[in-house]
Amino acid sequence: MANTNAQLAAVFAQMAAVAEILGQDRFRTIALQRASRVIADLPDDLATIGPDTKALAAIDGIGKGTAERIAEFLNTGRVNDHDELLSQIPDGLPALLDIPGLGPKTIALLWNNAGIESLDDLRAKLEGEQLAKLPGMGKKKIENLRKSIAFAEAAADRVSIGRALPMALWFLGQLRAHKSVIDAAYAGSLRRGRETIGDIDLLVSADTAKPGAAESISDLFVSLEPVEDVLVKGATKTSIRTSDHLQADLRIVPPESYGAALMYFTGSKDHNVSLRQRAIAMGCSLNEYSLSRDGKPIAGKTEQDVYKALDLPWIPPELREDRGEIRLAESDKLSKLIEHTDIRAELHAHTTASDGKWSIRDYALTCADLGYHTVAVTDHSQSQPIANGLSPERLEKHIEAVRAVAKDLADTITVLAGSEVDILADGSLDYPNSLLKQLDVVVASPHHALGQDPKKATQRLIKAIRNPYVTILGHPTGRLITRREGLSPDMKQIIVAAADRGIALEINANHWRLDLRDTHARAAIEAGVKLAINTDAHGPADLGEIIYGTLTARRAGATANDVVNCMTKAALAKWIESSRQ
């Protein structure tokens, strides 16, 4: 699976960080950071262009120097400038960049003033008092460092669903092309839509009785491009590790066992235990091969067959966490879960007015092509200078620009003027109400001071919710999965406040966020609070992230009726108006 852009973006990002650690020219660091962002956002893989510096330099945002480095990487798999920078710092120092909240400047301070050259060095120094003597390293920062290391270590063995799902789908595409493969699917926590994945479980149905069929499929699997190491290889199970350090396990089963195996390897463990207990109570036994009675298989070809034989309707994988789904299924109370195709509006996205990659018009037309009836333009507010946040004066001009596009495209799509407004540390918003009232949609989001204690964080978000012009509370914790823990407010109080105001709580569909998380979204639904599923898109490719938001909503048991983005055009307009007090 080609992932050249991701690899190159990581190389340039690390070059920028190391250059900053070394105290090199600030403008060089900024240029490297910009190159990383541009490459990461490209819709097409750079490998398809090849090492043609002229063609690469013709890409918007890529200059001659960046093009030469990209060409070098495409030719050799390395960038000499990257190797040169790494040679100037201790081998263990780059690993510190993976610690949330530990940036290049602090790493430089720790290296130059405390002799810290690795994570082990940092752990040892955190046990003493030496670091407290360094400038800017007070007790609170040292305690936060300890927490960040613990958080990073807890997340180290898992990857985001946004990294695992594309890899799984690519593997399935290759396996399905094999002549002996009848069906194939991914299973495990990935199929249940969990936000992080330990490894990728792949299941293939094939005529295993045919000589050499299973072995041939395994041979194909281990020969594929991303495979770096073969951990186990056999006729029924093969495990590999990819060049991205992901483990993938392939299991090959006969068609008559495919459904039972898919159910078993999808899990969760607790859901499977409950099903096995149900089978035993019915005088049957259930395993990964079949549902059997008196040693004779009675179901196993499809999941639907197995559930039906257990006197249950099919239960969507996202609900299989033993959270009461079997009880609901027994009483025929499982609702029809939301599908990503139910989404008809995008209410949180950024354009070139702040840090987006597309114009207002291009954003609107791209969404119209997807069948959306409404979009909101919600560029960053002034407290986000790194994202080119809009000053009040710029916002007023931006509103005029949005209104002009809205008028021009009135027969194609409804375009609303909005803003993603920062929730400041004290809970006030980044613009005065006199300006907020001019907007159609206000997405209020926290972006800084994300280490606040839970009580202050709760008060902060509730104060923002109570602002009469807020429409949606955006990514309430500000977390980044496996990267940053974010706020830990009392979500019960947040949900009550949202219910009182009649606003929506966002599931930010970006796979690094998925915030609200599934458990919080479930509590919101139970309290009658509407959800908004938005991609936080900065360019066309980001709109595809909607699948991760809807997976999270499905895990929460959400239906289309629970999500404002699924409303009709008229109903959405009425709801937005009703949310303003």
* Residues 358 and 372 reside in one and the same domain: yes
* Residues 149 and 234 reside in one and the same domain: no
How many other C-beta atoms lie within 10 A of the C-beta of residue 13?
Answer: 18
* Closest alpha carbon to 59 in 42, 76, 75: 42
pLDDT confidence bin for 456, thresholds 50/70/90: very high
Q: Which residue has the higher pLDDT, 208 or 351?
A: 351
438-452, 480-494, 517-531: the lowest-pLDDT one: 480-494
Give the whole-number percent of the chain exceeding pLDDT 70: 98
* Residues 194 and 103 reside in one and the same domain: no
Cis peptide preceding 268, ω within 30 of 0: yes
pLDDT score of 155: 58
DSSP letter for 563, please: B
How many other C-beta atoms lie within 10 A of the C-beta of residue 564?
Answer: 23
557 falls within a domain: yes
The residue out of 155, 190, 208 marking a domain boundary is 155
Highest mean pLDDT, choosing among 8-17, 125-134, 454-463: 454-463
Helices (runs of H) and strands (runs of E) counted in the chain: 23, 17
pLDDT confidence bin for 3, thresholds 50/70/90: low
501 falls within a domain: yes
> 354-393, pLDDT tens digit by residue?
999 999 999 999 999 999 999 999 999 999 988 899 999 9
* Residues 110 and 213 reside in one and the same domain: no
* Residues 92 and 167 reside in one and the same domain: no
* Residues 141 and 228 reside in one and the same domain: no
Cα–Cα dist 284/355, whole Å:
59
pLDDT score of 1: 37
335 falls within a domain: no
* Residues 123 and 47 reside in one and the same domain: yes
120-124, 166-170, 532-536: the lowest-pLDDT one: 120-124
* Residues 350 and 448 reside in one and the same domain: yes
CATH number at residue 359: 3.20.20.140
Complete edge-to-edge strand list for the sheet that includes strand 247-253: 181-186, 200-206, 247-253, 237-242, 227-232
260 falls within a domain: no
> 48-80, pLDDT tens digit by residue?
888 999 999 998 889 999 999 999 999 998 999
Cα–Cα dist 443/391, whole Å:
16
- Asked if 526 and 558 count as a contact pair (C-beta separation under 8 A), the reply is no
pLDDT score of 414: 98
145-154, 249-258, 333-342: the lowest-pLDDT one: 145-154
CATH number at residue 313: 3.30.210.10
Give the CA angle between residues 61, 62, 67 to the nearest 5°.
175
538 falls within a domain: yes
pLDDT score of 154: 63
Cα–Cα dist 340/9, whole Å:
29
The residue out of 129, 155, 181 marking a domain boundary is 155
* Residues 319 and 304 reside in one and the same domain: yes
DSSP letter for 317, please: G
Residue 2 pLDDT greater than 50, yes or no: no
> 461-479, pLDDT tens digit by residue?
999 999 999 999 999 999 9
Cα–Cα dist 245/163, whole Å:
11
pLDDT score of 134: 85
Residue 299 is part of which domain span?
Answer: 265-330
The residue out of 199, 218, 253 marking a domain boundary is 253
213 falls within a domain: yes
Mean pLDDT of 310-326: 96
Query: With a threshold of 0.95, does the pTM exceed it?
Result: no
Highest mean pLDDT, choosing among 3-12, 33-42, 133-142, 164-173: 164-173
Cα–Cα dist 295/517, whole Å:
43
pLDDT confidence bin for 43, thresholds 50/70/90: low
DSSP letter for 332, please: T
* Closest alpha carbon to 431 in 473, 388, 393: 393
Phi, psi (deg, nearest 5) at residue 163: -90, -35
Distance of CA 550 to the CA centre of its chain: 11
Mean pLDDT rounded to a whole number for the chain:
93
Mean pLDDT of 290-304: 97
Number of domains in the chain: 4
pLDDT confidence bin for 156, thresholds 50/70/90: low
Residue 284 pLDDT greater than 90, yes or no: yes
- Residue 35: its H or E element: helix 26-41
- Asked if 39 and 67 count as a contact pair (C-beta separation under 8 A), the reply is no
258 falls within a domain: no
* Residues 219 and 130 reside in one and the same domain: no
51 falls within a domain: yes
Give the CA angle between residues 245, 249, 253 to the nearest 5°.
165
Residue 44 pLDDT greater than 60, yes or no: yes
Q: Which residue has the higher pLDDT, 156 or 273?
A: 273
Mean pLDDT of 443-460: 94
* Residues 306 and 356 reside in one and the same domain: no
